[in-house]
Structure 1
Amino acid sequence: MKSALFLTLPLWMAATPLWAQDCHLPVRDENDQAHYGCRRANDLQVPVAVAALTDADILVVGTLSEPRSDLAYPVTRIDIADHPGARLETALQQAAGLQQFRRSDARTANPTSQGITMRGLGGNASSRVLLVLDDVPQADPFGGWVSWPGYDALNLARITVRRGAGQVTSGAGALGGVVELDSLQYRDLLSGRLAYGSRESVDAKASILRNLGAGSISLSGSYARGDGFVPVVKGQRGAVDRPAPYEQAGLALRAVAPVSDNTELQANMRVFTDDRDRGFDFSDSQNSGVDASLRLVNRTAGGWQWSALAYVQIREFANRFGAIAAGRNSVALTLDQYSVPSTGLGARVEVRPPLSDKAELRLGGDWRRTSGQTNENFFFTGLIPGRSRRAGGQSDVFGLFAEGSYAPVDSLTLTLGGRADRWKITNGFRKEVNIGGTVRSDDVFADRSGWEGTGRGSFALFLNDEVKLRGAAYAGWRLPTLNELYRPFRVGADATAANELLAPEKVRGLEIGADVEAGAVTVRATAFANRLKNAIANVGLGVGPGNFPGVGFVAAGGVYRQRQNLDAINSKGLEFEADYRQGPFTMSARYAYVDAKVDASGPSTLLDGLRPAQVPRHFGSVGVAYDAAAFRADVDIRYVGGQFEDDINSRNLDDALTFDAGLSYRVFDNLRLELRGENLLDRQVEAAVGSDGVVERATPRTIWAGISVGF
């Protein structure tokens, strides 16, 4: 993996940050020319691309223009320029209530624990928020988690978070909302950043961007490594505990070429590698991937507009698990998932016919296939496995969608959309053998299929130029991932079995909210209520020691779980966001309150009325920044409430308050020095607690010093 360093060395010689303007959204005039200026919430002249640059010559690329239906969504737009040097997963913390399954970031967490969700929908590590990059779904084809280091190499124009289900044009799986990443393309610039931090950490990114005739091309790369910290808290460590190193790298290539005056072809490819360790022997993981996509976009002014997309995702994952003895003085290898390959294929088409100024119609369809399998050894004697298991399958989702918006008067927009999806789960199997001996089981699972629907009806009413009311009723669904259906896993002494009979999750919900834009102040507030039927959770069914189906032996003190469909998770709450931007000053406040409870019966009756695992009741953050021509300073304070580690609410994770800050100074036009810190007060952020009471922590205090130059 150290060879990954050389992937980015040619790019490290040039670097610059993305410095923000006060109002940096380009707005198109009647001649389709882009201009900078502030855009109000009720301005339908929205951009097709965004950049936070002052010196670069902008090349406008991207998707079709933002639809009228966006007016009725609770939307958070995260400006990349407001978070220089931040990882994507860190920048997303600016969206109130958006969370990963665990509090650890992608430097120490197991990759399989990094799904994202919103609105307290809980569950397990598979994402219940749909993440898309230039219209391509980004969840791991096998597991549904997000490989965050794979995005550090990208040049992103913006991040858009749309809350709530029923987003019919985005595809299936958006139970809590959609996070859209849009690529940035601009001309003739070499840029990057190199930083050195605590525990011998290195963080680097560089880009080469060139205008080629009427098109453009960009190449960017990233590299990160660190010796890591000891995850287990002081006072509970044993001889097996050590720092948890990481090494991650990525490359991204993007090319844009005009096909005609109104049509362009966009080609994207990215590759990433991600090696992590969780701080003891047999806790390492390796994750790598290659993605490629082609997209045609036609933006004929006043005429038919359309886009067409095809993509492929290739993933390879490996992971080992060790059981730590009492006293934490020895560890034994228990499971070696030495190869988990998977592939995602898909296509999408959207058409927008020309209608009147008061109406808009979006029609289209999409298809996504995921296939993969886990190959693993277990039942170890020392380092010699006694048994082997292979399991996997394939899933397909075919969908057709239509969404229409109509403005009977200038102050009111009504939207109604729906989609019908045909899903199939096929080729499922699980085979276990005694290595060098007999077949223990050889199961072939029956194919399954069905129909599911997604819908959303909404309104946006402008009381005046400053105040907008909005509301929606919606429905959505998510197909179980191949990981949930077929792959068992372990965390410490606990073991969780897969379940090939899982049913799709289905959500129904309501929301009502208001947006206020008064001068330099923007305020957004939303109240919501959701019911997630068939919610997939890891349900405790027994305790060790003993042998259990699907996982084998569970040691004393360990818990045996299986993925199961709960009756439902009921979640209601409030989201609040406020922003102030005046000259070089920016201030923001975020808060989300979530009241979520499990509705359970049958084998999971014990969970009825309890709180879903890993769902805090409170999220909050405050950010302040000063960004002048030469000097920038920013402070971010984040709070997350207490939450439960497990489904029966017996293991509590304390609340956490963290303080981040950054300083940078432009020495010359093309040179800037940076200093930033994470968790500056070195507060303990509990990330997990095992059945033995041992607590793991997330990132401790980390100091970074860096330099960025640009030409």
Structure 2
Amino acid sequence: MKTVILPAILLSVPTLAFAQAPDDAPGEASQIIVTGAGLDLPPGTPAYGSVVIDRQRLLDSASGRIESVLGDVAGFQQFRRSDSRSSNPSNQGATLRALGGNASSRTLMLLDGVPIADPFFGYIPFSALAPERLSVVRVTRGGGIGAFGAGAVAGTIELASATRAQLPDFSASAFYGSRDSTEVSAGLTQDLGGGYVSLSGRWDRGDGFHTTPKDQRVAATVPAAYDGWSTNLRAVAPISATSELQFRATLFEDNRTLRFAGADSMSQGQDASIRYINRGAWQVDALAYVQARNFSNIVMSSSTFRKSLDQRNTPSTGIGGKIEIRPPVGPDHVLRLGVDTRFATGDMYEDAYNAMSGATTFRRHAGGDQWTTGAFVEDDWTPEGLGGKLILTGGVRGDRWSIRNGFYHQVSATTGAATGSDYANRSDWEVSGRVGALYRASDAVALRTAAYSGFRLPTLNELYRPFVVFPITTQANAALTPEKLKGVEAGIDLTPLTGLTLSATAFYNRLDDAIANVTNPLIANTRKRQNVDRIVAKGVELTAAAALGDIRLSASYAYNHSMVRAPGAAFNGFTPAQSPRHAASATVAYSPASGPTLSTTLRYVAKQYEDDLQSDVLPDALTLDAIARLPIGHGLSLVARGENLFDETIVTRNAGGSMDLGTPRTLWIGVSFGR
């Protein structure tokens, strides 16, 4: 009996061989070992200059959080510099290439092919994405992708679940850290028939640190305590020698307290997806998913320290799916044909209070629906006769989008008077595409170029929900139109020596109708979400990786020159909010086959501005993280981790001098087990 192993790595490029071996005797059974991966990436993928983060790097995070590891890719940023322990969840949108600060994600983030952004807000639930559950992460800076391409204006981050070969039968870890922090996780993976089932859970909590500078603290100021958990079930079952069924379900809840006692936020979710993969002559990737999410948040008055707003309930639902088919069109082409759809609906319920008396003043209800349905076609062509040196790739997609049933209603709690609006339904078509070329001049040199376009719908949050972060009130705007990006780039990949790779990319991106929080010059401390004419971002990205025996080195640098074009506006020609010009990261890891291991990461982020008028500065920051492992035996290791070892002061928010701070020096000690 032969063993046929279906390939494991989602992010590898070579064409795979699968199906029963030709020398199997008639009637001889084949044992199928499935791994739960998706289809191979098309051969033209390298033309778009992706950066891959491997599993070992994911496990060697000093913070143990995925958003910190993504910081290895210079240019990755959230709306604020805080991680998922000390930031309001609604701030945690992901973006790339300094296209302007926005709490909604300008980057399409996928887990096993499924979009994971919150259906109402557009933020990423980072606390639910445990690094130990992942195999690899691929980050593509720049717009355009095949399935679920609507939303990939700044790029795409693709996460793949760990494969069976990477998951021990049982794993567990327990850590204790600064400020009475604990982190506990466990995973159980068992073979079942020809497939497997994996169940994992994680719980972390901490008393937190003071996000408020010492000279701004008052009696009501408290540390940013956090308490969250997540659990994940994944099952993979073979259907035939070339096909399998994959199921995933994730439950999570995250509770945080920020700045003042009683300023509590909660986010939770219940996600599920099912995916069919066929690696036969007609390759198929079909999936369906559902997301049930909720969010609540209490805003405390900064003068009376009593509740001023209770965003008590924000239920939302996301439903979607895709079908992608790759027909057999000959050895020179990989053709992708597909359709996908996403539906999002959500409501916001909040109560406003008189911060002096504590009496309820208004009750508000807002919400709406969004629907995007698209079709795409993409082809990767490797011309015959050139020895595979040249690969041409191109694709186009068309999307029909609609924004429907939008409303914002407010009722006075004292008089019963109702105000607000029901907004007209809107719909339209968007066509986007991308083309690229990869030329391997030699084994050591590869040249690439690409051009692309894309769009992003405003989220329900941007359209209908105002918010307050003292002392600034930001108003919603139901008339927002989609953002549209056009971009070009060119790059070179060098492999001068075995184990050494160097890459450089120069890019120009233009985001038309960019959604920004625009200061109102007539009303103090007030901003409104608006479409500005455009944001132009151009720059250079450098990456390097080397393997020297037991030592691994990696580095990333991004120079982003971003500018707002808004003729007649006060901020015309300014740098977009939350957009650093320089960002860099470098990691050195010592990891022998046996014995102690050590990994250190140095990161730098240049200064950036909190607001569109460049009046509030967030200074630059340099941080050092480290993690060390000492194997004890029988799968058990002693682990020490350190975050921000320089104890750098990281300013994450600055509104007229009212500041929030990021993670100070944090030390962890614990054990891990896996066999």
**Could you tell me whether the CA contact under 8 Å between 1:47 and 1:66 is conserved in 2?**
no
Counterpart AA for 1:541:
N
User: What secondary structure is seen at the aligned counterpart in 2 of 1:94?
Assistant: coil
Q: Distance in 2 between matches of 1:665 and 1:163?
A: 36
Residue in 2 that maps onto 1:665: 630
**Could you tell me whether the CA contact under 8 Å between 2:13 and 2:41 is conserved in 1?**
no
Residue in 2 that maps onto 1:232: 212
Residue in 2 that maps onto 1:10: none
Q: 1:644 to 1:153 in 2, by over 3 A?
A: closer
Q: 1:421 to 1:41 in 2, by over 3 A?
A: closer
**Could you tell me whether the CA contact under 8 Å between 1:537 and 1:566 is conserved in 2?**
yes
User: What secondary structure is seen at the aligned counterpart in 1 of 2:314?
Assistant: strand
Residue in 2 that maps onto 1:213: 193
Partner of residue 46 from structure 2, selected from 71, 74, 86:
71
State the shift of 1:152 in Å: 1.9
Counterpart AA for 1:280:
F
Q: Distance in 1 between matches of 2:66 and 2:110?
A: 13
Is residue 405 from structure 1 mapped to residue 380 from structure 2 by the alignment? Answer: yes
Q: Distance in 1 between matches of 2:34 and 2:162?
A: 9
Q: Is there any run of 5+ residues in structure 1 with no aligned partner, and where?
A: 1-29, 49-56, 545-557
State the shift of 1:31 in Å: 9.4
Is residue 531 from structure 1 mapped to residue 513 from structure 2 by the alignment? Answer: no
State the shift of 1:282 in Å: 4.1
State the shift of 1:126 in Å: 0.5
Q: 1:170 to 1:468 in 2, by over 3 A?
A: farther
**Could you tell me whether the CA contact under 8 Å between 1:540 and 1:562 is conserved in 2?**
yes
Residue in 1 that maps onto 2:60: 84
State the shift of 1:433 in Å: 0.5
Q: 1:99 to 1:47 in 2, by over 3 A?
A: farther
Residue in 1 that maps onto 2:307: 333
State the shift of 1:436 in Å: 5.1
Q: Is there any run of 5+ residues in structure 2 with no aligned partner, and where?
A: 20-31
**Could you tell me whether the CA contact under 8 Å between 2:34 and 2:244 is conserved in 1?**
no
**Could you tell me whether the CA contact under 8 Å between 2:11 and 2:41 is conserved in 1?**
no
Partner of residue 443 from structure 1, selected from 404, 407, 421:
421
**Could you tell me whether the CA contact under 8 Å between 1:358 and 1:407 is conserved in 2?**
yes
User: What secondary structure is seen at the aligned counterpart in 1 of 2:36?
Assistant: coil
**Could you tell me whether the CA contact under 8 Å between 2:73 and 2:585 is conserved in 1?**
no
Residue in 1 that maps onto 2:566: 600
Residue in 2 that maps onto 1:159: 137
Residue in 2 that maps onto 1:243: 223
Counterpart AA for 1:487:
R
Residue in 1 that maps onto 2:646: 681
Q: Distance in 2 between matches of 1:710 and 1:438?
A: 61
User: What secondary structure is seen at the aligned counterpart in 2 of 1:238?
Assistant: coil
Is residue 259 from structure 1 mapped to residue 239 from structure 2 by the alignment? Answer: yes
Q: Distance in 1 between matches of 2:226 and 2:502?
A: 39
Equivalence map 1:41-120=2 (5 Å): 43-45=14-16, 59-82=34-57, 83-85=59-61, 86-120=64-98
User: What secondary structure is seen at the aligned counterpart in 2 of 1:235?
Assistant: helix
Q: 1:458 to 1:357 in 2, by over 3 A?
A: same
State the shift of 1:542 in Å: 4.2
Residue in 2 that maps onto 1:516: 494
Q: Distance in 2 between matches of 1:262 and 1:525?
A: 38
Counterpart AA for 2:605:
V
State the shift of 1:153 in Å: 7.6
Residue in 1 that maps onto 2:338: 364
Q: 1:583 to 1:708 in 2, by over 3 A?
A: same
State the shift of 1:147 in Å: 1.1
Q: Distance in 1 between matches of 2:358 and 2:34?
A: 56
Q: Distance in 2 between matches of 1:334 and 1:467?
A: 60
TM-score normalised according to structure 2 size: 0.93
Counterpart AA for 2:335:
L
State the shift of 1:84 in Å: 2.7
**Could you tell me whether the CA contact under 8 Å between 1:321 and 1:333 is conserved in 2?**
yes
Q: 1:235 to 1:563 in 2, by over 3 A?
A: same
State the shift of 1:588 in Å: 1.2
User: What secondary structure is seen at the aligned counterpart in 2 of 1:534?
Assistant: strand
Q: Distance in 2 between matches of 1:230 and 1:102?
A: 16
Is residue 346 from structure 1 mapped to residue 344 from structure 2 by the alignment? Answer: no
Residue in 2 that maps onto 1:198: 178
Q: Distance in 2 between matches of 1:292 and 1:115?
A: 21
Counterpart AA for 2:418:
R
Partner of residue 580 from structure 1, selected from 528, 539, 546:
546
Residue in 1 that maps onto 2:583: 619
Q: Distance in 2 between matches of 1:35 and 1:177?
A: 26
State the shift of 1:46 in Å: 9.8
Q: Report runs of 4+ in structure 1 exceeding 6 Å deviation.
A: 34-37, 39-42
State the shift of 1:582 in Å: 2.4
User: What secondary structure is seen at the aligned counterpart in 1 of 2:80?
Assistant: coil
Counterpart AA for 1:530:
N
User: What secondary structure is seen at the aligned counterpart in 1 of 2:628?
Assistant: strand
Is residue 540 from structure 1 mapped to residue 519 from structure 2 by the alignment? Answer: yes
User: What secondary structure is seen at the aligned counterpart in 1 of 2:90?
Assistant: helix
State the shift of 1:320 in Å: 1.4
State the shift of 1:180 in Å: 0.5
Q: 1:434 to 1:655 in 2, by over 3 A?
A: same
State the shift of 1:95 in Å: 1.1
**Could you tell me whether the CA contact under 8 Å between 2:146 and 2:395 is conserved in 1?**
yes
Counterpart AA for 1:706:
G
Counterpart AA for 1:272:
F
Q: Distance in 1 between matches of 2:12 and 2:158?
A: 18
Q: Distance in 2 between matches of 1:677 and 1:154?
A: 18
Counterpart AA for 2:517:
N
State the shift of 1:571 in Å: 0.5
Deviates more, 1:656-665 or 1:428-437: 428-437
Is residue 309 from structure 1 mapped to residue 309 from structure 2 by the alignment? Answer: no
Counterpart AA for 1:580:
A
Residue in 2 that maps onto 1:386: 361
Q: Distance in 2 between matches of 1:588 and 1:392?
A: 45
**Could you tell me whether the CA contact under 8 Å between 1:618 and 1:640 is conserved in 2?**
yes
User: What secondary structure is seen at the aligned counterpart in 1 of 2:71?
Assistant: helix
Q: Distance in 2 between matches of 1:377 and 1:356?
A: 62
Q: Distance in 2 between matches of 1:531 and 1:626?
A: 41
Residue in 1 that maps onto 2:606: 641
Residue in 2 that maps onto 1:21: none
User: What secondary structure is seen at the aligned counterpart in 1 of 2:461?
Assistant: helix
Partner of residue 175 from structure 1, selected from 134, 146, 153:
153
Q: 1:357 to 1:488 in 2, by over 3 A?
A: same
Partner of residue 480 from structure 2, selected from 488, 502, 516:
502
Residue in 2 that maps onto 1:591: 557
Q: Distance in 2 between matches of 1:619 and 1:581?
A: 23
**Could you tell me whether the CA contact under 8 Å between 1:154 and 1:221 is conserved in 2?**
no
Deviations 1:98-156 (A, max 9, x none): 11111000000011111010111114110011000011101100011111111128611
TM-score normalised according to structure 1 size: 0.89
Q: Distance in 2 between matches of 1:103 and 1:372?
A: 27
Residue in 1 that maps onto 2:252: 272
Deviates more, 1:402-411 or 1:527-536: 402-411
Residue in 1 that maps onto 2:531: 565
Residue in 1 that maps onto 2:29: none
Q: 1:336 to 1:46 in 2, by over 3 A?
A: farther
Q: Distance in 2 between matches of 1:35 and 1:185?
A: 10
Q: Distance in 1 between matches of 2:444 and 2:607?
A: 36
**Could you tell me whether the CA contact under 8 Å between 2:33 and 2:195 is conserved in 1?**
no
State the shift of 1:193 in Å: 1.2
Q: Distance in 2 between matches of 1:35 and 1:160?
A: 17
Q: Distance in 1 between matches of 2:33 and 2:646?
A: 40
Q: 1:133 to 1:36 in 2, by over 3 A?
A: closer
Q: 1:139 to 1:256 in 2, by over 3 A?
A: same
User: What secondary structure is seen at the aligned counterpart in 2 of 1:112?
Assistant: helix
Counterpart AA for 2:144:
G
| Percent of residue pairs identical | 42
